[in-house]
Amino acid sequence: MMKIIRRILSIFRNSKSNHIDYPYLEKLITLESLNIASSNRQRCDINSLSDVEFCGFSQWGEDGIIDWLIDKLPDIPQKFVEFGVGNYLESNTRLLLFLRNWKGLILDGSHEHIASIKEQDIYWRYDITAKQAFITKDNINNLISDNGFSGEIGILSIDIDGNDYWVWDAIDVVKPYIVICEYNAVFGDIESITVPYDEKFYRTNKHYSNLYFGASIKSLINLAEEKGYTFMGTCSNGCNAFFVHTEKCSNVITSVINHQSYPSRVRESRNKESELTFLSGQDRALEIKEMKVFDTTEKVIKSISDYDNLYSSKWI
């Protein structure tokens, strides 16, 4: 991952111009990503998904993990659906367009973000559809099918900072080979919990800290099993979890020794004045201890404070 950053920074440090040509920068990122991806593809067996991480256009190491998994699934359909993409400059599927020329549907709740995407060269250079929508469990299937996607697809990527669990649970119009879903590491790795469903859920409005959203890794693993998916692991920063359809995963399940989940070291907590407070570890859960969660095992709503411990020893 750092090779890409060092290489590109060195080029611009040696440049006589102060102007950054973004299309040129994008090409450099793609070329450096391809170099690392080509090396990763030679690795038949890895200890965990973190071994093949690199960041080209993804937020963390997702680009490397995605490329490695796709390479082990030779018949994977070259189509994706990703929602919660922002302006799409940083996303889980952008590199797929450059390296593999996939077809995709991207959704986001912001009119400004979708307008920005449609102004980018990537929008006419590749076969992608960008639509504005505030996603709920009741509209997601129509949003996908109405835009021409159904049946088997390569990747479904979910990151809406809220009802992620409930929306994935509702999706049945597509059958992805790979599902990538953000988890909230603040909820720990022991309990199977998620925020209660609220179709108007907005992270900052729910709690000033921005720590209250999404679902625990345990709840997503349990949901994946119910939907016929096998947990492969997470990226090492503790953000996105990866699942492969159990019917399709014979080529990869034995290639990953440890299907490992990671805690998050991100310190994005804020106070009531929206200032960063840099809470870490279990202090983040204490900040939202009175907030309600839905226990997907017991099928009841509890407070976070009702749980004696959310974190296993490997996550502390």
Phi and psi torsions of 77, nearest 5°: -65, 140
Q: Residue 81 is inside which H or E element, if any?
A: strand 79-83
Return the pLDDT at 17. Answer: 53
Give mean pLDDT, residues 199-224: 97
- Look over the chain and give the mean of its residue pLDDT values, rounded to a whole number: 94
- For 249-315, the DSSP string reads GGGTTTTBS------------B-TTS-B----TTHHHHHTTTSEEEETTTTEEEEGGG-S----GGG
Nearest-CA neighbor of 154 among 88, 108, 103?
Answer: 103
What are the tens digits of pLDDT across the range 96-125? 999 999 999 999 999 999 999 999 999 999
State the Cα–Cα distance between residues 131 and 310, nearest whole angstrom: 37
DSSP 8-state secondary structure symbol assigned to residue 196: P
Name the least confident of 130-134, 247-251, 263-267. 247-251
All structural domains of the chain: 47-315 (3.40.50.150)
Burial of residue 166 (CB within 10 Å: 0-12, 13-18, 19+) is: buried
What are the tens digits of pLDDT across the range 17-27? 555 677 888 88
**For tokens 């080509």, what's the residue?**
38
Return the pLDDT at 22. Answer: 74
Give mean pLDDT, residues 227-250: 97
CB burial readout 172-191, b (16+ within 10 A) else e: ebbbbbbbbbbbbbbbbbbb
Confidence tier at 13 by pLDDT (50, 70, 90): very low
**What tokens does 90 get?**
């940083």
Return the pLDDT at 298. Answer: 98
Q: Residue 129 is inside which H or E element, if any?
A: strand 128-132
Return the pLDDT at 1. Answer: 47
